[in-house]
Amino acid sequence: MGRGKDMKLSIPEIEIMSPGHLACQGCGATLAFRYAIKALGKKTIVAIPACCWSVIDGPFPYSSAGVPVFHTAFETAASTASGIKAALEIKGIGDVNVLAWAGDGGTMDIGIQALSGAVERGEDIIYVCYDNEAYMNTGIQRSSSTPQGAWTSTTPVIKYKKMPKKDMIEIMVAHGIPYTATANIAFPEDFIGKLEKAKTIKGPKFIQIISPCPVGWKFSSHLTIKIAKLAFETCIYPLYEVKDGIYKVRRPNKKKGINEYLKMQRRFSHLDNSEIDNMQRWIDSKWQNLIEKEARSVPAEKYESPKSTKETKTTDIV
């Protein structure tokens, strides 16, 4: 974490995902997957529930992912990934990563039961939620990850979202899993480093990556990275990890005011100054809480994932 010695300076050159995908221009979720699969490599099987990524991957028999993809029902990313892992174990294959790749709706709303079950069982899977903060694939409906104050097609301006974004990271931490982290497409080394770390950890791993959506957040497609960077710099979307109970928070050089971030997205254009001030106070207190949690955090009891009784072997997946 941080700019110190364990921060990697480059990202793998290998391109596994192919360019002929069906994403919109400036899609953050597409970059997120491109980086994820660079980190995890070809020996990866992905479970994708209904979401933008079911479309982005391409229509059968085409696929841009570059690795085997199991398209599955909206609520089943974690249970499908658990099943794929179980099948690999039965076959004695131990060197293939199983990745659940789901949107925020598929993770924090409809898929939360399957996800909670899978991590409670100690499944040895990596779960990445690419967070574009609404149900984008079906027309920008609000999810529990939509931030307070945002317009969506189901929270129109007079009734824009009043509830805060669900804190899924803390829900995962409360399950006592060995590794939980946030990530940001504007910081690919950090994201790739976290996935490389996740690969080496036995048991459930959960990463949530902010993936700005030009269509749903209402900004011009060339601003995706700038907005993602501001999400980190304003501390509205902190970059941190929790490994075996220990928090590590990456701090911006200078914490910026939320105004700059909000003003770039028309989903927030109806907010007046007093609402923005309220939001700033809320973000400041969340940030302060996180810093204090980091200072207080102590190592958790060692997590023991269920041991497979089978021997595993290596295999070639091309």
Ligand X SMILES: Cc1ncc(C[n+]2csc(CCOP(=O)(O)OP(=O)(O)O)c2C)c(N)n1
Q: Which is nearer to Mg ion, 217 or 247 (CB)?
A: 217
Nearer to Mg ion, 103 or 111 (CB): 103
Give, as ranges, the residues between 118 and 137 that touch Mg ion (CB under 5 A). Answer: 132, 136
Under the criterion CB under 6 A, does residue 138 sit at the interface with ligand X?
Answer: yes
- The partner in contact with residue 147, picked from ligand X, Mg ion, none with C-beta cut-offs of 5 to 8 angstroms by kind, is none
Number of residues that bind ligand X (CB under 6 A): 14
Q: What is the DSSP string of 266-285?
A: GGGTT--HHHHHHHHHHHHH
CB hemisphere CA count around 312 (13 angstroms): 15
CA distance 13 to 205: 25
CB of 235 to ligand X, least distance (A): 23
**What residues contact 80, with CB distance under 8 A and at least 6 apart?**
47, 49, 70, 72, 100
The two beta strands, 239-243 and 179-184, are antiparallel
Q: Contact between 104 and Mg ion (CB under 5 A)?
A: yes
Near ligand X by CB under 6 A: residue from 51, 81, 115, 168: 51
| Shortest CB 137 distance to Mg ion, Å | 7
Cα 252 to the chain's mean position, in Å? 20
Q: CB of 52: closest distance to ligand X in angstroms? A: 3
- Minimum Å gap between C-beta 225 and ligand X is 19
Answer for which of 103, 147, 193, 214 binds Mg ion (CB under 5 A) is: 103
CB of 216 to ligand X, least distance (A): 8
User: Which residue is at the shortest CB distance from ligand X?
Assistant: 103
Q: Which two tokens stand for residue 225?
A: 């990275």
**Helix (H) / strand (E) containing 128:** strand 126-131
Task: Report 77-136 residues binding ligand X (CB under 6 A).
Answer: 103-106, 132, 135-136
Window of 137-145, 178-186, 245-253, 288-296 that interacts with ligand X by CB under 6 A: 137-145
Nearest approach in angstroms of CB 157 to ligand X is 21
Nearest one of 285, 268, 269, 286 to 133, comparing CA atoms: 268
Closest by CA position to 33, among listed 25, 18, 24: 18
Q: With beta carbons less than 8 A apart as the criterion, state whether 238 and 119 touch.
A: no
List interacting residues with ligand X (CB under 6 A): 50-52, 74, 103-106, 132, 135-138, 143
